[in-house]
Amino acid sequence: MGTIKHRGEHQFQAIIRKKGYPNKSKTFETRALAKDWLEKTERSMDAGIFVDPAAGPTDLLDSILKRYLEEVVPTHKGHESEKYRINKMRRDSLARYRFTAVTSDLIAEYRNDRLKEVSPSSVRRDLELLRSIFNYAQQEWRIKVTNPVALIKLPGPSKARDRRISKDEETWIVRTLETTPRNTDGSFAEGTRNPWVQRALKLSIETAMRRSELFALDWKNIDLEQQTAFLPSGATKNGYSRTVPLSKAAVEILHTLDPKTEGAVFPTTNNAIKLAYARAVVRARKLYLSDCASTGKGPKPGFLEDLHWHDARHEAISRFVPKLANILELKAVSGHRDIRSLDRYYTPDSAELARKLG
């Protein structure tokens, strides 16, 4: 026979201890609700049809996302991106629905709304993660729920981005990223006030490191004599450690950063660099157009337009190709686990290919 304990204001705990079943308990706001749950649960046990749902009828999708974030995500390699996506989901109205009541229609609505904000590939990754969460809840937490993500069509992958930063564009951006002192009136001249962003960009083009990897660099993991930089597993996107070879130019860049025995190579934030770079590209484009107007030259189509920081990695890998003809060497430098992934980064210069053909 079950019992009900009054544990405080609006807290009535129903407890069932029945032979052949694990002890069950659940807290309700009223004694009537606790009694109703207790009687229904005991009847289903007596009839041999009891199924432990593991998630109560009031548990929201948000609570499942939070549990997955705390218990499962830390065990995954490359968990930072999963944390970001789950926290984004938790802020969405979808998270306010009960977990067992999330339908394929709601997931489809979520998909369509997200497609208005981000690329199809990003939405696809969101949904693949959500599908994994539902599967995990079914298999490991024994929650009786249908996986609604499996019932909808996922967006197709976006066309692989093939934008590269040309050397001319690099020159303009680097020039724009020169740090500027204050004017005599105390204001800042047009330019960047972040002393790290220019050298971070240069190092990215010299090493093909991702922005997140640059900001995980620690002086204790850099050997300037051997020209190597070690990235531990927690610092890489795929969760596998690797040692990055440094060119002479990369070593020179690091020397300008006042090498230390330990500590962050770039003592600033990832987001600060991202924003400073975006503003620099806009300024570079403005200055370029002004220069074209003053010289009477027409601007090159697309010059200094549609540029992302990640394009520096794209450019770096493409520049490595003539130097590292062995695809395995190229893969070791870039940090890709799958050789096929290099296809989207290697964009050869057609004129250079023509010269090779003779």
231-263 pLDDT tens trace: 888 788 777 888 999 999 999 999 999 888 889
With 90 as the cut, is the pLDDT of residue 135 above it? yes
159 catalytic per annotation: no
> Is 256 in a helix, a strand, or coil?
coil
With 90 as the cut, is the pLDDT of residue 12 above it? no
| Tokens of residue 321, six digits | 């190709």
Please identify which of the residues 24, 164, 199, 313 carries the catalytic annotation.
313
With 70 as the cut, is the pLDDT of residue 345 above it? no
Burial class (CB within 10 angstroms; exposed 0-12, middle 13-18, buried 19+) of 299 = middle
Give the Cα separation of 68 and 62 in Å (integer).
Answer: 10
| Tokens of residue 169, six digits | 């564009």
Please identify which of the residues 210, 211, 283, 314 carries the catalytic annotation.
210
Please identify which of the residues 68, 277, 288, 345 carries the catalytic annotation.
345
With 80 as the cut, is the pLDDT of residue 162 above it? no
237 catalytic per annotation: yes
Match 């189509």 to its residue by tokens: 301
Q: Which of 335, 89, 85 is nearest to 216 (CA)?
A: 335
With 90 as the cut, is the pLDDT of residue 91 above it? yes
pLDDT recorded at residue 191: 64
Give the Cα separation of 72 and 80 in Å (integer).
Answer: 12
Q: What are phi and psi of 8, to 5 degrees?
A: 150, 180
310 catalytic per annotation: yes
313 catalytic per annotation: yes
pLDDT recorded at residue 323: 80
Please identify which of the residues 310, 319, 331, 344 carries the catalytic annotation.
310
Confidence of residue 223 (pLDDT cuts 50, 70, 90): very high
In angstroms, how far apart are the furthest CA atoms of the chain?
Answer: 92
Q: Which of 247, 217, 239 is nearest to 230 (CA)?
A: 217
With 70 as the cut, is the pLDDT of residue 27 above it? yes
* CB neighbourhood size of 52 (10 A): 12
Cα 187-265-216 angle, rounded to 5 deg: 115
210 catalytic per annotation: yes
Helix residue ranges per DSSP H, 144-210: 167-176, 197-207
Chosen CATH of 61-151 out of 1.40.20.10, 3.30.1330.10, 3.40.1230.10, 1.10.150.130 = 1.10.150.130
pLDDT recorded at residue 335: 81
Q: What number of CA atoms fall less than 13 Å from residue 211's CA on the CB side? A: 19
Nearby residues of 24 by Cβ (< 8 Å), 6 or more positions away: 15, 16, 41, 52
| Tokens of residue 114, six digits | 């997200």
Q: Is the pTM of this model over 0.95?
A: no
Cα 219-224-226 angle, rounded to 5 deg: 125
Please identify which of the residues 237, 279, 319, 344 carries the catalytic annotation.
237
pLDDT recorded at residue 89: 94
pLDDT recorded at residue 358: 66
pLDDT recorded at residue 189: 53
The answer to whether 66 touches 90, Cβ cutoff 8 Å, is yes
Where along the chain do its domains lie?
3-46, 61-151, 167-357
Domain 167-357 carries which CATH code?
1.10.443.10
pLDDT recorded at residue 136: 93
| pLDDT 10s digits, 275-288 | 888 998 999 999 99
Please identify which of the residues 85, 199, 202, 336 carries the catalytic annotation.
336
With 80 as the cut, is the pLDDT of residue 168 above it? yes
> Higher confidence at residue 157 or residue 61?
61
